[in-house]
Structure 1
Amino acid sequence: MASNLNYLDPSLLPLEDKLQAYLQAEKELQRAVAESASLSHPAPQPDATSGPAADAAAHSGTAPTSDGVFEQRPPTGSYDQAGDEMHEQLQNLRDDLETLRRDIINMLPVRDEWIKVNLGYGPSRVGAFQETDTSAGASAEAGAEPTYQLRVVI
């Protein structure tokens, strides 16, 4: 029975904390990617060619936007920074995730093996497994350090 409880080892607490941060960063990146996609592909708006907004536009000579509100143009020389900010935020999240991934791989006691950890759901597993590259370029760089893929099973 004691062998089944080795995932509760207190020496694994720093690794578990780092894994929790990694999983949270993955969720934040997924949310940011979804938000970025929704900003670049906005939902279709109802047509404002009829109704009270269209009647008001006919009398004033300006066209309402699709939501029935009159359009305000930005001042000359300004531009929408939302796209640039979203791109920068995504890059920062990817960089943070890569840093956490490297830290976790360095904290693991072994490679190419599963380690049991406690992520709050019972025994979970984490491991760093060597990526196998079958391309011709990999054989030319035989002295290169192997790359590892982080895998987490909750």
Structure 2
Amino acid sequence: MASNLDYLDPALLPLEETVRTYLETEEELRKAQVTQQTRQAEPAAQPAASLHQNPAELQQHISHLESKLTELRTEILRQLPARDEWVKVNLGYGPSRVGAFRNEAADGEEQYLIRVVH
């Protein structure tokens, strides 16, 4: 029974917080990219009260989010106790899983992809 409660380990709290921030940043990046694509497709249909009024600001915001995601990936890799296996964490409604898995498609140096199931 104890293995089912491993995800409540207080030592995993920093990893959980980093994963939450990673997921929020990933979602914000997706929304900014959709906004950018929409504006490129329909320049006349821009909303008046947009977060980023011009394309340069939006591109700068996207670049900032991409660099933040890179930093968060590095932090998650540092915090994970193992590679190529799942770690149970508490992201809300019971156990979720996070892991870093080898990217077989990558050429050259060893790269890992962050996977989150929640």
Q: Assess same fold via TM > 0.5.
A: yes
Q: Supply the distance in 1 between the matched residues of 2:93 and 2:34 (Cα, whole angstroms).
A: 27
Q: Deviations over 1:61-81 (max 9, x none)?
A: xxxxxxxxxxxxxxxxxxxx8
Structure 1 residue 148 corresponds to structure 2 residue 109: no
Q: Supply the distance in 1 between the matched residues of 2:106 and 2:82 (Cα, whole angstroms).
A: 24
Choose 1 or 2 for highest CA Rg.
1
Structure 2 equivalent of residue 15 of structure 1? 15
Identity over aligned pairs, percent: 46
**What do you get for the CA RMSD once the two structures are aligned?**
1.9
Structure 2 vs 1, CA of residues 153 and 40 (structure 1 numbering), >3 Å: closer, same or farther? same
The structure with the largest helix share of the pair is 2
Question: What pairs up with 1:50-69 in 2 under 5 angstroms?
Answer: none
Tell me the SS of whatever aligns to 1:152: strand
Structure 2 equivalent of residue 33 of structure 1? 33
Structure 2 vs 1, CA of residues 12 and 85 (structure 1 numbering), >3 Å: closer, same or farther? same
Q: Supply the distance in 2 between the matched residues of 1:115 and 1:89 (Cα, whole angstroms).
A: 32
Q: Supply the distance in 1 between the matched residues of 2:106 and 2:115 (Cα, whole angstroms).
A: 20
2:60 paired residue among 88, 96, 110: 88
Q: Supply the distance in 1 between the matched residues of 2:24 and 2:74 (Cα, whole angstroms).
A: 16
1:104 paired residue among 76, 92, 101: 76
Which stretch of the first structure deviates more once superposed, 82-91 or 9-18?
Answer: 82-91
User: How far did residue 120 of structure 1 move?
Assistant: 0.5
1:126 paired residue among 98, 103, 107: 98
Given the two structures, how large is their TM-score scaled by the length of structure 1? 0.66
Structure 1 spans left out of the alignment, 5+ residues? 46-80, 139-143
Count of aligned residue pairs for this structure pair: 111
